[in-house]
């Protein structure tokens, strides 16, 4: 048998006195097998013998290092042990009634059978202690750490407010008189003998009013009609559970997950639902905090967690979703009008077709979200992030394929803006600066663009039907294939613009400047181009049937193969114009200037030339040149719609000298309407 080693240290003699924290061991005995200690310690001006059955009643051992000591059956009644280190100590069957152990470290200590009646254990570390059949009646364990403690059979009629009993062994423990306010008793082992009224053990967790169940596991738990009023359930997992009629009034549910649970009749009045996740729930809660509602079986409201949830076609109108997390959520065609989304996260959300008109989006994040066909007009506040190509202009989110129907963009700065495929029906862009902007395939039908600057803008395939572009500047704008039916382009400047294959049927271009514009194969049927400047314009293959070109300048214009049938070119300037193979049938060219114009192959049937001035004379001169190119050609004047042709018969003997025979042939021809050429030939 090994003998204990006795080490005597005398403070007055040796300078290497062993000191552990506060207090000095004058004499110390260490068991070589257990390393447990006994001895004499000097602390707080007093000397105390530390041993089994020691009488330390009222002793002041505050702050002493008593780790690993043996104080079995010791009397520490009323002792002061605050902040003392008793880690691994053996105090079984000791008397610590009324003792002050506030802030002490008793982790791993053996306290079985010890009495702590009326003891102060606030904030004490009791993790891993053995408290089997210990008596903690009326003890104050507020904030104490009892994690993984063995409390089998212990009496805990104590103040356990804020105490942590996670993993504690409570088999047969009596907690009937315990104050469990904010006590944490999760993942406990065994069932207590008794609990205070209103408390129970569910899935190894003590549940009841005001308990601390943060992070607790209640997956699939039956919490029907449980009372968790003002309980702390922060981060708890309550998924797929039965929560019918549960009382969560005033509960702290921050970041808790209630997804898939039945919440029929549940009460959440005053509960903190920050970052809570309650998606795909069943049943309707009886009461929810102000600002929270159920939409498509999901609890929505400020700061909730709705990551990846499907809200397609849902109605959120007027809801408060401040700081809610909708990352990756689906809002396809959802109604979010007037919703408060300030500070909300909508990264990678699908907002295709969603209506956010009048929504508050200050500091919201829409980075990488899909915004095609979404409507964000009249919004309030600026977001911190938008998808690439989208910006906020005059309280409207603008960008590709966005819905801006009827939007107020008067005088807006939209230089280089990308509005390709955007819906701008009826939008007011009066005086807006759209220089070099991309409006390709945009719908601008009925839009107001009076005085707008569209120089260099891309409008290929855009729909501008009935749009008002009066006085707008579209210099070198690209309008290939655009639709401008019934559009108002009075006084518009389209110098060098490309309108290839554009549709301008019935459009009003009075006084418009189209100098050098490309109007190849354009449709200008019954369009008004009076007084328009088309000098040097390319109108090859254009359809100008019935168009009004009164007084228009077409000098040097290319109209080869164009259709000008029934058009009005009165007083138009066609000097040097190329009208080769053009259809001018029924056109009114009265007063038109055609000097040096090329009419080769043109269809002039029914053309009105009613202008007896030098221009007609020039036409006759050119016709004379034409006839002189053919032998035997002659021009005969007509009268009263008929012409009489007389042939005198002459004879000759040498084919040089001819004499009249006195005989002649006379023929009267009734002329038909329009221009006709006649020739005469002998029968073979």
Over residues 259-318, the pLDDT tens digits come to 999 999 999 999 999 999 999 999 999 999 999 999 999 999 999 999 999 999 999 988
Q: Give CA–CA dist 290/287, Å, rounded.
A: 9
Q: Are 569 and 587 in contact (CB under 8 A)?
A: yes
Nearest Cα residue to 445 out of 458, 418, 471, 464: 464
Counting other chains too, the contacts that 227-236 makes at CB distance below 8 Å and 24 or more residues apart are 227/198, 231/207, 232/182
Q: What span, in angstroms and rounded, lies between the C-alpha atoms of 29 and 35?
A: 9
3-class secondary-structure state, position 628 = helix
Six-digit token string for 297: 């079986």
The predicted-structure confidence for 519-554, as pLDDT tens digits, reads as follows: 999 999 999 999 999 999 999 999 999 999 999 999
679: which residues sit within 8 A by CB, 6+ positions away? none
Which residues are CB-neighbours of 204 under 8 A, at least 6 positions away? 186, 187, 188, 189
Pick the CATH number of 213-299 from 3.40.50.300, 2.160.10.10, 2.160.20.80, 2.90.10.10: 2.160.20.80
Q: What is the pLDDT of residue 307?
A: 97
Q: Which residues contact 73 (CB under 8 A, 6 or more apart)?
A: 52, 53, 92, 93, 94
- DSSP-assigned beta bridge partners for residue 179: 159
What's the whole-model pTM score? Answer: 0.74
CA dist 418 and 528 (Å) reads 31
pLDDT of res. 223: 97
- C-beta neighbour count of 669 within 10 angstroms: 13
The C-alpha atoms of residue 679 and residue 593 are separated, in whole angstroms, by: 31
User: Could you give the CA distance from residue 146 to residue 136 in angstroms, rounded to a whole number?
Assistant: 13
Q: Is 665 helix (H, G, I), strand (E, B) or coil?
A: strand
User: pLDDT per residue over 60-104, tens digit each?
Assistant: 999 999 999 999 999 999 999 999 999 999 999 999 999 999 999
Cβ 106 vs Cβ 134: under 8 Å: no
CB distance 471 to 490 below 8 Å: yes
For 568-618, the pLDDT digits (tens) are 999 999 999 999 999 999 999 999 999 999 999 999 999 998 644 444 544
pLDDT at 636: 60
pLDDT at 342: 96
Distance CA 76, CA 130 (A): 18
**DSSP-derived secondary structure letter, 2:** P
Q: Which architecture, in CATH terms, is 306-403? A: 3 Solenoid (2.160)
Which tokens is 622 given?
């050119």
For residue 410, what pLDDT is reported?
A: 97
Question: Stretch 483-511: mean pLDDT, rounded?
Answer: 98
Cα separation, 221 vs 400, whole angstroms? 49
Question: Residues 274-282: contacts with CB within 8 Å, 24+ apart?
Answer: 274/302, 274/303, 274/304, 275/303, 275/304, 275/305, 275/325, 276/304, 276/305, 277/304, 277/305, 277/306, 277/307, 278/304, 279/306, 279/309
pLDDT for 19: 40
Q: Domain residue spans in the chain? A: 213-299, 306-403
Confidence of residue 673 (pLDDT cuts 50, 70, 90): low
Write the DSSP string, 295-358.
Answer: ETTEEE-TT-B-TT-B-TT-B-TT-B-TT-B-TT-B-TT-B-TT-B-TT-B-TT-B-TT-B-TT
């Amino acid at each position: 048998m090994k003998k204990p080693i006795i080490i005597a240290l005398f403070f007055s003699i040796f300078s290497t006195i062993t000191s552990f924290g506060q207090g000095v061991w004058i004499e110390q005995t260490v068991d070589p097998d257990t390393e447990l200690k006994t001895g004499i310690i000097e602390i707080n001006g007093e000397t105390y013998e530390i041993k089994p059955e020691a009488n330390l009643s009222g002793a002041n051992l505050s702050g002493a290092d008593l780790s690993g000591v043996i104080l079995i059956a010791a009397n520490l009644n009323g002792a002061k042990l605050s902040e003392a280190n008793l880690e691994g100590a053996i105090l079984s069957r000791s008397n610590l009634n009324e003792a002050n152990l506030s802030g002490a470290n008793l982790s791993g200590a053996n306290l079985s059978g010890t009495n702590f009646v009326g003891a102060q254990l606030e904030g004490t570390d009791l993790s891993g202690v053995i408290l089997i059949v210990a008596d903690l009646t009326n003890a104050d364990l507020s904030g104490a750490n009892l994690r993984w403690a063995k409390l089998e059979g212990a009496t805990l009629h104590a103040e356990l407010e804020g105490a942590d009993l996670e993993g504690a062994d409570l088999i047969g423990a009596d907690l009937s008189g315990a104050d469990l306010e904010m006590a944490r008793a999760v993942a406990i082992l065994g069932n207590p003998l008794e609990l205070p009224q209103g408390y129970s053990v569910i899935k190894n967790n003590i549940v009841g009013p005001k308990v601390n169940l943060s992070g607790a596991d209640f997956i699939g738990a039956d919490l029907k009609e449980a009372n968790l009023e003002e309980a702390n359930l922060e981060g708890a997992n309550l998924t797929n559970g039965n929560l019918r009629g549960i009382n969560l009034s005033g509960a702290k549910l921050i970041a808790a997950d209630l997804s898939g649970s039945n919440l029929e009749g549940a009460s959440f009045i005053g509960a903190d639902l920050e970052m809570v996740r309650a998606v795909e729930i069943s049943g309707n809660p009886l009461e929810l905090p102000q600002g929270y509602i159920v939409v498509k079986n999901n609890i929505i409201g400020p700061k909730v967690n709705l990551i990846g949830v499907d809200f397609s076609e849902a109605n959120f109108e007027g809801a408060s979703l401040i700081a809610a997390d909708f990352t990756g959520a689906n809002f396809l065609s959802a109604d979010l009008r007037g919703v408060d989304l300030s500070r909300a996260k909508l990264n990678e959300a699908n907002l295709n077709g969603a209506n956010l008109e009048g929504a508050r989006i200050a500091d919201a994040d829409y980075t990488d979200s899909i915004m095609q066909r979404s409507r964000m007009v009249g919004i309030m506040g600026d977001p911190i992030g938008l998808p690439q190509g989208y910006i906020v202009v005059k309280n409207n989110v603008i960008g590709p394929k966005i819905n801006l129907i009827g939007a107020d963009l008067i005088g807006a700065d939209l230089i280089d803006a990308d509005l390709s495929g955007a819906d701008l029906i009826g939008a007011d862009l009066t005086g807006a600066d759209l220089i070099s902007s991309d409006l390709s395939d945009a719908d601008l039908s009925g839009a107001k663009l009076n005085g707008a600057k569209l120089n260099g803008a891309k409008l290929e395939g855009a729909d501008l039907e009935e749009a008002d572009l009066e006085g707008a500047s579209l210099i070198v704008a690209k309008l290939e294939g655009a639709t401008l039916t019934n559009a108002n382009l009075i006084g518009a400047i389209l110098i060098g613009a490309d309108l290839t294959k554009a549709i301008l049927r019935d459009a009003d271009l009075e006084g418009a400047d189209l100098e050098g514009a490309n109007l190849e194969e354009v449709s200008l049927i019954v369009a008004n181009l009076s007084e328009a400047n088309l000098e040097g314009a390319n109108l090859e293959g254009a359809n100008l049937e019935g168009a009004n070109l009164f007084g228009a300048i077409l000098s040097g214009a290319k109209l080869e193969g164009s259709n000008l049938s029934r058009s009005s070119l009165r007083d138009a300037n066609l000097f040097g114009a190329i009208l080769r193979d053009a259809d001018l049938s029924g056109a009114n060219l009265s007063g038109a200037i055609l000097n040096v114009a090329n009419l080769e192959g043109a269809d002039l049937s029914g053309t009105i030339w009613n202008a007896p001035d030098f221009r007609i004379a020039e036409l006759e001169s050119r016709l004379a040149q034409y006839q002189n190119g053919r032998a035997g050609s002659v021009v005969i004047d007509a009268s009263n719609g008929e012409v009489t042709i007389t042939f005198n018969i002459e004879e000759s003997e040498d084919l040089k000298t001819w004499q009249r025979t006195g005989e002649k042939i006379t023929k009267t021809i009734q002329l038909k309407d329009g221009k006709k050429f006649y020739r005469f030939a002998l029968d073979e």
